């Protein structure tokens, strides 16, 4: 599978070979599926809905989207727009602080959390925070030492609770749809944590499309991505890049490497990247649901058969996966461009 700009046809801003925005709008097959969460919620509360009914169709569409794209938009998700806008405004308040101030919360080489300033294709501000209260309070004081940071803490907590609920609901529906015993997933559900990440891509004046975030797969079970109205996200399907056009009031959902391991490769994590914006700056916010560090992830029994379907990956702890990821990110930067999937290093055949 190709992973560099030059190797891959681009469907966003690649003049000549790619379809125009007008064509993209007409041809919905070039866009990721849009699913209605209200239908999905009804279908999961009505497990025995008749095949072919509207409810069973909602579930089937979800499984089809998971298999074919590994990503989709959901509408009617019930997360208030006001909350999303409040969270976006808070991230912009942080990114608008002077650089010396932001660097007081700098992410260290050994941490997942903190502020990062990158100057790749254009300036990029990144802030990652965990869902534990102590971490939220720590960064509230770092960014706003002189003012009461209660607004910071309240907004992050409200947002992470709403996004956690939605992520679990979606995972439950997928698990049920795949015929997996819910108890097999409960082990992971009990021991989850989350990372919230905000990316602020400054507008570049480049005449060409340049990469903002290099191609990668997300590590956890599921990611919810909130985009503003500026396009930039692209996903890989069948060896081609597709632009994920922002949809108002919709949340983009990706599945990550841990769901790929849990379903023994039945569902694949989606490769994606972002382009640096040229007309307007762009803010994206990701909510990543991941296991606790010591949780051992392995395939659900329903997807394993020692003869015809052996496990694709050896069982491993989340912390092992993260350490490998950190090593690839720091040590080998610029020297060796690893395949964007860290899962390759956990293939069962290699051990
Ligand atoms: O900016 C985007 O749309 C993608 C963000 C992303 O993939 C990430 O933060 O890992």
Q: Could you report the per-residue pLDDT of 15-51, keeping only the tens digit for each?
A: 333 443 434 444 445 789 999 999 999 887 665 555 5
Query: Whole-angstrom Cα distance, residue 138 to residue 127?
Result: 13
Residues having CB within 6 Å of any atom of ligand 1: 197, 199, 213, 225, 227, 232-233, 272, 274, 284, 286
| Token pair listed for 113 | 């959390």
What's the pLDDT at 56? 73
For the chain, the structural domain boundaries read 10-333
Question: 266, 240 in Cβ contact below 8 A?
Answer: no
Instruction: Give the end-to-end CA distance of the chain in Å, rounded to a whole number.
Output: 24
What's the pLDDT at 47? 59
Q: Look up the pTM and report it.
A: 0.88
Report residue 13: phi and psi, to 5°.
Answer: 75, 10
What's the pLDDT at 14? 33
The closest alpha carbon to 344, from 269, 289, 233, belongs to 269
The total of other beta-carbon atoms located within 10 Å of residue 244's CB is 25
DSSP state for residue 299 in the 8-state scheme: -
Ligand 1 atom at minimal distance to the Cα of residue 201 = 1
**CA–CA distances in Å: residue 227 to residues 11, 41, 211, 266, 323:** 18, 23, 17, 28, 28
CA of 153 to the centre of ligand 1 (A): 23
Q: Judging by beta carbons within 10 Å of its beta carbon (0-12, 13-18, 19+), is residue 82 exposed, middle or buried?
A: exposed
CA of 305 to the centre of ligand 1 (A): 35
The closest alpha carbon to 287, from 156, 169, 175, 182, belongs to 156
The total of other beta-carbon atoms located within 10 Å of residue 225's CB is 22
Query: Whole-angstrom Cα distance, residue 103 to residue 99?
Result: 6
Question: 62, 42 in Cβ contact below 8 A?
Answer: no
Query: Whole-angstrom Cα distance, residue 219 to residue 96?
Result: 29
186: three-class secondary structure by DSSP = helix
Query: Whole-angstrom Cα distance, residue 274 to residue 269?
Result: 16
| Token pair listed for 16 | 């000549």
Nearest 5 degrees, angle CA 23-CA 26-CA 31?
Answer: 85
Ligand 1 atom at minimal distance to the Cα of residue 282 = 1
What's the pLDDT at 4? 29
> Candidates 95, 233, 252: which one to mutate for ligand 1, based on the most atoms within 8 Å of Cβ?
233
Nearest 5 degrees, angle CA 289-CA 221-CA 190?
Answer: 65
pLDDT tens-place string over residues 172-196:
999 999 999 999 999 999 999 999 9
Question: 194, 161 in Cβ contact below 8 A?
Answer: no
Domain 10-333 matching CATH 3.40.50.1820: the answer reads no
The total of other beta-carbon atoms located within 10 Å of residue 283's CB is 21
> Candidates 230, 274, 282, 340: which one to mutate for ligand 1, based on the most atoms within 8 Å of Cβ?
274
The segments of the chain whose pLDDT lies below 70 read 1-29, 45-55, 329-340, 350-351
Query: Whole-angstrom Cα distance, residue 341 to residue 271?
Result: 8
Q: Judging by beta carbons within 10 Å of its beta carbon (0-12, 13-18, 19+), is residue 27 exposed, middle or buried?
A: exposed
Question: 209, 241 in Cβ contact below 8 A?
Answer: no
Query: Whole-angstrom Cα distance, residue 198 to residue 175?
Result: 28
CA of 51 to the centre of ligand 1 (A): 36
The closest alpha carbon to 254, from 294, 298, 224, 220, belongs to 224
252-271 per-residue burial string, b: 16 or more CB within 10 A, e: under 16: bbbbbbbbbbbbbebbbbbb
> Candidates 12, 199, 228, 288: which one to mutate for ligand 1, based on the most atoms within 8 Å of Cβ?
199
Query: Whole-angstrom Cα distance, residue 166 to residue 260?
Result: 20
315: three-class secondary structure by DSSP = coil
What's the pLDDT at 72? 97
């Amino acid at each position: 599978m190709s992973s560099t700009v030059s190797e891959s046809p681009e469907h966003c801003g690649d003049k000549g070979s790619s379809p125009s925005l007008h064509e993209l709008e007409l041809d919905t097959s070039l866009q990721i599926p849009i699913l209605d969460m209200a239908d999905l919620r009804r279908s999961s509360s009505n497990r025995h809905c008749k095949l072919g009914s509207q409810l069973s169709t909602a579930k089937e569409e979800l499984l089809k989207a998971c298999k074919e794209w590994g990503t989709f938009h959901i509408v009617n998700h019930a997360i208030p727009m006001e909350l999303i806008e409040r969270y976006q405004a808070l991230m912009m308040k942080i990114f608008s602080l002077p650089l010396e101030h932001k660097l007081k919360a700098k992410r260290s080489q050994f941490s997942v959390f903190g502020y990062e300033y990158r100057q790749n294709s254009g300036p990029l501000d990144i802030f990652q925070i965990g869902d534990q209260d102590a971490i939220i309070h720590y960064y509230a004081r770092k960014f706003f030492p002189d003012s009461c940071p209660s607004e910071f803490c309240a907004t992050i907590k409200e947002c992470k609770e709403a996004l956690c609920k939605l992520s679990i609901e979606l995972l439950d529906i997928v698990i049920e749809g795949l015929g997996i015993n819910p108890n097999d997933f409960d082990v992971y559900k009990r021991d989850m944590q989350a990372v919230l990440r905000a990316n602020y891509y400054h507008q570049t004046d480049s005449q060409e499309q340049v990469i903002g975030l290099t191609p990668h797969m997300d590590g956890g079970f599921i990611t919810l991505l909130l985009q503003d109205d500026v396009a930039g996200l692209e996903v890989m399907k069948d060896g081609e890049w597709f632009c994920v056009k922002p949809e108002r009031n919709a949340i983009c959902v990706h599945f990550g490497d841990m769901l790929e391991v849990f379903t023994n490769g039945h569902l694949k994590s989606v490769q994606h990247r972002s382009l640096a914006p040229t007309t307007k700056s762009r803010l994206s916010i990701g909510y990543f649901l991941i296991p606790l560090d010591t949780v051992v992830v392995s395939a659900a029994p329903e997807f394993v058969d020692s003869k015809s379907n052996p496990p694709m990956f050896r069982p491993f702890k989340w912390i092992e996966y993260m350490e490998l990821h950190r090593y690839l990110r720091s040590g080998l930067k610029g020297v060796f461009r690893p395949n964007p999937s860290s899962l390759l290093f956990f293939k069962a055949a290699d051990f």
